[in-house]
Amino acid sequence: MRIVLATRNAKKVPEMRAILAEAGVEAQVLALDSFPDAPEVPETEPTFTGNALLKARAIAAHTGLPAVADDSGLSVDELKGMPGVLSARWSGRFGEKDQDRANLDLVLDQLADTPAERRGARFVCAAALVMPDGVEVVAEGVLRGRLLRERRGDHGFGYDPVFAPEGHTRTTAEMSPEEKNAISHRGIAFRKLARELAEMI
């Protein structure tokens, strides 16, 4: 079985392959680099699920293969769930080299006067599988935690340096990739999706 992962991030391919194998699914996982003419799909929906489905549907239609896509971001309690689907472009500097730092700086500035007990947040991921016959499956993963005031750790990306998951004293940027993947919102969503796929085949 061949599955297309709707991303050009090569690091996501071995992660998905391992998760599928864990669920008992034997599959060749392909990144979008295997399809140079695949369309770029803008994330124009107001929800993580909507954006994941948008991308998976477009890539399944283009390749004629099962396609998996995800959308994820940070939802801050004090900001009424924002930045949400705007997480990657919260500072308005999308595509720039320092966009991660700018996004994180803006969130920290917006929470500058917020006490520790009100700094709750969660990482959310929606993962979608679209089959060529039109069958669609969506799974969601959530990792709750709190936002610190100072950056800690050199791993990960985005908001990882200030996000400490519930039950942990370290940020996700202080964890190894293996430790983070074991508890991450993306890992949770993809493992749910893999179990659904295992049942389907």
Residues noted as catalytic:
71
Provide the CA 149 distance to its chain's centre, in angstroms: 23
Task: In whole angstroms, give the CA distance from residue 12 to residue 75.
Answer: 22
Task: In whole angstroms, give the CA distance from residue 43 to residue 167.
Answer: 33
Q: Are 43 and 71 contacting, i.e. CB atoms less than 8 angstroms apart?
A: yes
**Which of these, 105, 77, 79, 111, lies nearest to 92 by C-alpha position?**
105
Q: Is the peptide bond before 132 cis (omega within 30 degrees of 0)?
A: no
Task: In whole angstroms, give the CA distance from residue 82 to residue 34.
Answer: 34
The 3-class secondary structure across 80-126, one letter per residue, is CCCEHHHHHHCCCCCCCCCHHHHHHHHHHHHCCCCCHHHCEEEEEEE
